[in-house]
């Protein structure tokens, strides 16, 4: 068990980075508390796998330090770091049985045979692999193999953190949710720090207590799933999380009041906008937009059926504004007026929440 | 250099020393070779190479070899493409047996076929032609090309074909415009191996030719036996046979590792 | 891949079938024809039944050639396979040197067989070749044209020089196809170098090595030109391997009957061994 701290971390894959663009990971100062369930969420290429490999020691960062419980382990190789990693596709030792796979990390570290055997049996039970312990690992299905990968991590008692690199990628869709709930359950039982990298927001939001959203090498926001949903610090977070994502529209702020297409809009933070701020935008989630008697005039463009709800696209001044309503609610035909929940409407400057 | 690479380095040195010796010899006169022993040419001379480049019996040997090798490679790959496609996508009666039978031909000792080929190709009037050698070499090159191409084709999912048909392509259009570019690496590898095995094979090439289509290999062996040992000339000729091979490897160097995977490893 | 049942497949393989059959079946028929007939010259042929086969199978000359061949193939397999794997294991897998290594290693594979023989001829001549002169200077009595031991040493060294790279390239291809994640997981699992070789690399190599053994077995059993150019089968009969012996009988002595019979027996031996290897290989792939 350990607290993981990243101090002044930056990483570039090129040996001579010149500008910010050469860095896969831009400056990070992060702390992961002991025993937490974290998700690293972001689109492909945002640097999440790089970050994971830095933590596990498979990659040495170009700058910065990494500490486990205040001990600088930046120079330590992976096998001395008390971490375990589960990869995108199942990595198992084909020629060994399930039992031998589970015992492998312990035997390599010199643990006595009976101890290794006992641990393997315990973990196998945790993962529901007990009845296939003596089968050859090569013959299992993808989810079984991933469980073995996970098992090899759990089997070591000194493991401070388990890192997952998009582990459900090769799992059949109907087994994904099963494995996902198993992982959550495991975390609760085992109480070890788990860091789960994914580009799938459902996986992230259901697994993690706290989610780290990344984009383009930067950490954009860290928060609980509901914090991310309710109060995104960056338009990217708003757009990436939730389906459909947050509405973003250009706006002006004059005298502490926000205006969109000439009409005043009530927000929580327009008064905090500094003089001369650029790239001003309004952000509001479709869930918090509704049709009203008084409000912004819009043209109804499209209505889409999304199962139990419907997504309505409306248009004003060249910007599409989406609403999310329950199915069955009446939608005006051509023109309508919409109102925003002022407590959920925020102003963003250059993408960042104005505070 | 890291200790790990020592084995590789020694191995490469081992490979290059005899070749260096050949190059060394090629720049010496035969007199010097027989007279003195030295690791480098004391009297550096280009006369061996000059002889080869100016004497038609010599340089035509190279030309002939290149001609029939190119003919064979084109022919083998061309007919192997549809066959490999069939083995990869279709199942038809006897397909596995046919595939195995093809591979058995690759196993045949050339010596077994020397005399029969001589009689066969003479009988159909193709003796001493490039075509004869090109055709004879297809005996082992076609099976190899089919095997390699089938491996690569099996790596391309059938969904690609089906999507193309849905998009309205005819089979021919699909094959030429979509499929072939997808397996371009495989075609390169197959062509490389066909070139390689045709270029290095001597027994059949020598048996089926006399004067017109004589490969360079035959000219070289003639030299060794008739006019005594003209070692310098022989060495120069040898060096020149290595060059086309070196050029070809250079061009496919990025595919060598992939190629030896044969799509199946 | 799920193949579709389609008898149209036969049209696709027709060109291949015709070409290969033309080259394979007609000559083979000719050989079979000769093998069961006897000639007294003058183009007169008489049915001879299986005498040639019996003669050949009982002939001491054939047995000797076969034994020499088996010895040769056995030795080179024992050297080339482990050597090839060892070199492949120590080759760099990334970076600019990879191409250089691969190109240099592939070079011997593209040299015409007779040039290979010529290279080693020039290289091993006792008085003017680097190897020959070198060995003799070191006090070793070496002369491949006169001594059996030297001759065998040289042809084996030549074959190893010529063909080990094939094994290296195959093994290398197998090794690089192992995803990096396996090595990463092994590092995290604190696996030793030996464990990595045994549990990750060797299983992957098994498939490749079967191909390598099959190819080397077949080709070494058929070897002709390189050895012929280097030693001519000598000194005496010392290095007369199967192909060379066959050639002597067929083209040298023009004994068509015995030559044809020997050809068929020869071919059958290879076929049987190759079929065994092939079946093992296919069964490995199916797993």
Which residue in B12, B18, B114 is closest to C105 by CB distance? B12
Chain A closest-CA separation from residue C83 CA (Å): 24
Close Cβ partners of A352 (under 8 Å, ≥ 6 residues apart): A233, A234
Beta strands in B83-229 (DSSP E): 90-91
Helix axes C148-176, B6-26, angle to 10 degrees: 130
Residue C104 and residue C45: Cα distance in Å, rounded? 53
Residue A35 and residue A47: Cα distance in Å, rounded? 23
Q: What is the pLDDT of residue B264?
A: 47
Nearest-Cα residue of chain A relative to residue C180: A91
Nearest-Cα residue of chain B relative to residue C159: B15
Decide: helix, strand or coil at residue A318: coil
Evaluate if pTM is beyond 0.80: no
**CA A98, A104, A107 angle in degrees (round to 5)?**
140
Residue B190 and residue B262: Cα distance in Å, rounded? 9
Residue B39 and residue B129: Cα distance in Å, rounded? 41
**CA B122, B127, B132 angle in degrees (round to 5)?**
110
Tokens of A78: 């992976």
Q: Per-residue pLDDT tens for C199-211?
A: 888 887 887 788 7
**Any contact of B with A, at least 3 CB pairs below 8 A?**
no
Nearest-Cα residue of chain C relative to residue A105: C189
Cβ contact C30–B109 (<8 Å) = no
Chain B closest-CA separation from residue C32 CA (Å): 10
Decide: helix, strand or coil at residue A275: coil
Decide: helix, strand or coil at residue B197: helix
- C50 or A208: whose pLDDT is higher? A208
CB contact at 8 A, A169 and A195: no
Query: What number is the average pLDDT over the span A199-217?
Result: 87
State in Å, rounded, how far the first CA of chain A is from the last one. Answer: 36
Residue B116 and residue C23: Cα distance in Å, rounded? 10
Tokens of C115: 């040039």
Q: What is the pLDDT of residue C75?
A: 95
Chain A closest-CA separation from residue C202 CA (Å): 10
Using alpha carbons, select from B14, B47, B13 the residue that is nearest to residue B33: B47
Inform me whether the C-beta atom of residue C193 falls under 8 Å from chain B C-beta atoms.
Answer: no
CB contact at 8 A, C198 and A100: no
Residue A23 and residue A38: Cα distance in Å, rounded? 23
Tokens of B51: 């002889």
CB contact at 8 A, B259 and B194: no
- Residue whose tokens read 């994971």: A52
Q: What is the pLDDT of residue B265?
A: 39
Cβ contact B116–C242 (<8 Å) = no
Residue C28 and residue C30: Cα distance in Å, rounded? 5
Give chain C's radius of gyration (CA, Å): 23
Best of B8, B171, B234 to disrupt the C interface by mutation (most C CBs within 10 Å)? Answer: B8
Using alpha carbons, select from A172, A173, A177, A186 the residue that is nearest to residue A142: A172
CB contact at 8 A, C105 and C171: no
Chain B closest-CA separation from residue C49 CA (Å): 20
Q: Cβ of C40: how many Cβ atoms within 10 Å? A: 8
State in Å, rounded, how far the first CA of chain C is from the last one. Answer: 15
Q: What is the pLDDT of residue C152?
A: 93
Inform me whether the C-beta atom of residue C254 falls under 8 Å from chain B C-beta atoms.
Answer: no
Residue A192 and residue A162: Cα distance in Å, rounded? 7
Inform me whether the C-beta atom of residue B241 falls under 8 Å from chain C C-beta atoms.
Answer: yes
Residue A277 and residue A251: Cα distance in Å, rounded? 11
All partners of chain A with 3 or more CB pairs under 8 angstroms? C
Chain C closest-CA separation from residue B132 CA (Å): 11
- Name the percent of chain A lying above pLDDT 90: 1
Q: Per-residue pLDDT tens for A45-65?
A: 888 888 888 888 888 888 888
**CA C90, C96, C99 angle in degrees (round to 5)?**
70
Q: Which uninterrupted H or E stretch holds C178?
A: none
Question: B with C: how many residue pairs have Cβ under 8 Å apart?
Answer: 284
Residue A275: C-alpha distances to residues A252, A272, A350 (Å):
11, 9, 14
Tokens of C135: 């060995």
Chain A closest-CA separation from residue C177 CA (Å): 14
Cβ contact C200–A93 (<8 Å) = yes
Residue B101: C-alpha distances to residues A320, B94, B95, B104, B143 (Å):
66, 10, 10, 5, 9
Residue C218 and residue C274: Cα distance in Å, rounded? 7
Cβ contact B200–C111 (<8 Å) = yes
Cβ contact C114–B217 (<8 Å) = yes
Tell me which residues of chain B have a pLDDT lower than 50: 1, 226-227, 262-265
CB contact at 8 A, B257 and C169: yes
pLDDT range class, residue C41, cuts 50, 70, 90: low
pLDDT range class, residue C42, cuts 50, 70, 90: low
Tokens of A276: 């001369």
Q: Per-residue pLDDT tens for A87-139?
A: 888 888 888 889 889 999 888 888 888 888 888 888 888 888 888 888 888 88
Find chain A residues with C-beta within 8 A of C182's C-beta. 91
Residue C129: C-alpha distances to residues B102, B220, C148 (Å):
42, 19, 18
Strands A210-215 and A218-223: antiparallel
A136: phi then psi, degrees, rounded to nearest 5: -70, 135
Q: Per-residue pLDDT tens for A285-344?
A: 988 888 888 888 888 888 888 888 888 888 888 888 888 888 888 888 888 888 888 888
């Amino acid at each position: 068990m350990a607290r993981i701290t990243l101090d002044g971390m930056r990483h570039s894959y090129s040996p001579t980075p010149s500008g910010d663009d050469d860095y896969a990971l831009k400056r990070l100062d992060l702390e992961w508390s002991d025993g937490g369930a974290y998700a690293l969420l972001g689109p492909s290429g945002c640097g999440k796998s790089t970050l994971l490999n830095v933590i596990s020691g498979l990659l040495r960062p170009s700058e910065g330090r990494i500490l486990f419980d205040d001990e600088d382990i930046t120079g330590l190789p992976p096998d001395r770091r008390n971490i375990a990693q589960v990869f995108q596709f199942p990595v198992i030792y084909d020629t060994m049985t399930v039992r031998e796979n589970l015992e492998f990390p312990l035997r390599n570290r010199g643990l006595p045979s009976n101890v290794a055997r006992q641990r393997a049996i315990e973990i196998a039970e945790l993962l529901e692999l007990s009845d296939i312990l003596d089968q050859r690992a090569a013959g299992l299905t993808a989810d079984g193999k991933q469980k073995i990968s996970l098992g090899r991590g759990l089997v070591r008692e000194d493991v401070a953190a388990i890192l997952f690199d998009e582990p459900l990628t090769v799992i059949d869709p109907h087994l994904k949710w099963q494995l996902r709930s198993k992982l959550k359950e495991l975390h609760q039982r085992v109480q070890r720090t788990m860091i789960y990298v994914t580009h799938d927001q459902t996986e992230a939001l259901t697994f993690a207590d706290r989610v780290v959203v990344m984009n383009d090498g930067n950490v954009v926001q860290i928060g609980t799933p509901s914090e991310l949903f309710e109060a995104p610090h960056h338009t990217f977070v708003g757009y990436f999380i939730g389906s459909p994502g947050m509405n973003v529209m250009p706006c002006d702020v004059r005298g502490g009041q926000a205006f969109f297409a000439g009409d005043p809009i009530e927000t929580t933070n327009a008064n905090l906008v500094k003089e001369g701020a650029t790239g001003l935008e309004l952000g509001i989630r479709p869930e918090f937009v509704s049709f009203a008697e008084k409000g912004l005039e819009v043209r109804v463009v499209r209505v889409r059926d999304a199962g139990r709800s419907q997504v309505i696209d409306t248009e004003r001044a060249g910007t599409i504004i989406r609403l999310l309503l329950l199915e069955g609610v009446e939608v005006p035909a051509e023109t309508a007026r919409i109102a925003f929940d002022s407590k959920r409407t925020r102003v963003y400057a250059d993408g960042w929440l104005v505070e | 250099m890291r200790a790990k690479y020592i084995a590789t380095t020694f191995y490469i040195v081992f490979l290059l020393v005899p070749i260096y010796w050949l190059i060394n010899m090629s720049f010496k006169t035969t007199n010097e070779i027989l007279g003195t022993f030295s690791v480098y040419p004391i009297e550096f001379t280009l006369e061996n190479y000059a002889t080869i480049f100016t004497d038609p019996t010599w340089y035509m040997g190279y030309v002939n070899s290149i001609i029939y090798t190119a003919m064979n490679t084109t022919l083998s790959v061309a007919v192997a493409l549809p066959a490999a496609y069939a083995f990869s996508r279709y199942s038809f009666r006897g397909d596995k047996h046919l595939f195995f039978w093809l591979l058995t031909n690759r196993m045949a000792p050339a010596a077994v076929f020397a005399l029969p080929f001589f009689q066969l190709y003479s009988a159909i009037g193709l003796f001493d032609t490039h075509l004869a050698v090109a055709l004879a070499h297809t005996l082992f090159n076609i099976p190899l090309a089919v095997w390699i191409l089938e491996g690569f084709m099996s790596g391309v999912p059938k969904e690609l074909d089906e999507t193309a048909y849905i998009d309205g392509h005819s089979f021919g259009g699909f094959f030429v415009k979509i499929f072939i570019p997808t397996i371009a690496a495989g075609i390169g590898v197959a062509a490389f191996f066909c070139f390689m095995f045709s270029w290095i094979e001597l027994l059949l090439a020598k048996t089926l030719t006399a004067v017109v289509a004589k490969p360079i290999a035959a000219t070289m062996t003639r030299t060794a036996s008739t006019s005594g040992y003209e070692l310098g000339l022989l060495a120069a000729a040898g060096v020149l046979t290595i060059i086309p091979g070196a050029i070809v490897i250079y061009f496919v160097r990025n595919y060598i590792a992939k190629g030896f995977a044969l799509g199946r490893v | 891949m799920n193949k579709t049942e389609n008898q149209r497949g036969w049209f696709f393989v027709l060109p291949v079938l015709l070409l290969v059959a033309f080259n394979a079946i007609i000559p083979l028929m000719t050989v079979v024809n000769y093998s069961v007939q006897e000639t007294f010259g003058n183009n007169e042929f008489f049915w001879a039944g299986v005498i040639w086969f019996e003669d050949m199978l009982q002939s001491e000359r054939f047995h000797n050639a076969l034994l020499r061949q088996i010895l040769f193939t056995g030795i080179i397999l024992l050297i080339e396979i482990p050597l090839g794997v060892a070199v492949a294991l120590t080759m760099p897998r990334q970076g600019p040197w990879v191409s250089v290594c691969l190109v240099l290693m592939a070079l011997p594979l593209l040299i015409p067989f007779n040039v290979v023989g010529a290279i080693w001829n020039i290289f091993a001549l006792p008085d003017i070749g680097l190897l020959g002169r070198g060995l003799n200077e070191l006090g070793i009595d070496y002369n491949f044209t006169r001594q059996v031991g030297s001759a065998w040493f040289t042809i084996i060294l030549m074959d190893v020089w010529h063909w080990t790279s094939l094994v290296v390239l195959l093994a290398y291809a197998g090794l690089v196809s192992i995803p990096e994640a396996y090595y990463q997981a092994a590092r995290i699992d604190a696996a030793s170098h030996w464990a990595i070789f045994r549990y990750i690399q060797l299983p992957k190599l098994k498939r490749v090595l079967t191909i390598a053994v099959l190819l080397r077995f077949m080709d070494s059993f058929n070897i002709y030109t390189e050895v012929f150019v280097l030693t001519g089968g000598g000194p005496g009969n010392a290095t007369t391997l199967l192909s060379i012996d066959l050639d002597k009988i067929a083209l040298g002595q023009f004994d068509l009957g015995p030559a044809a019979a020997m050809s068929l027996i020869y071919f059958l031996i290879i076929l049987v061994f190759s079929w065994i290897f092939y079946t093992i290989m296919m069964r490995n792939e199916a797993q």
